[in-house]
Structure 1
Amino acid sequence: MFGLSELAVILIVVIAVLAAKKLPELTRSAGKSARILKAEARAMKEQDKAEEAPAAPRIIQGETLPPSAPGSERTGRTDGTPPEGRPAG
């Protein structure tokens, strides 16, 4: 009778012969899956870095706002009225 190693070799050969038609499709789909997984992992890392980055300071009422922030004109408000405690002008 056959030993364990001979049966393993025969089984591998039978699987290779029967799966030869599907093997390229399987490897292609495995490659696509690996690329998708890699892209998703990269996106998650970038999202985590963006969440950890400190936000631009935005202080209201008489302190400096970033120049691109709404309400950063001289009055400190978007509607043109002066902040409380300051005379208009």
Structure 2
Amino acid sequence: MGLGPLEIGLIILAILLLFGYKKLPDASRSLGRSLRIFKGEMKGMKDDDVRAKDAATTTPVRGEIVAPASSPSDDLNIRLQEEARTAELRAAELRARADQARAADGSR
């Protein structure tokens, strides 16, 4: 029980009526991009799984200190915390400059 040529033609006609012939290339292009992104993410997840298995199966040499394996989410959290600290320091610096400018304007 497959799709015959009549059913395929009706499906194509319905798609053309819904989207119009002008927007169809844009819709197909964005669908292709979405699929490419999805495939890339799936490949990344598989690579992460392989790395995690490799890290778990490697045994340290006697006396060697092994750091715990960090996951990409741990790296992201650390980077975000560093960016937050940097932003807080920058905001404090700007507040201090603004206070100095107000004090200088008040003394004039």
The TM-score with structure 2 as length reference comes to: 0.40
Q: Which has the higher helix share?
A: 2
Query: Greater CA radius of gyration, 1 or 2?
Result: 1
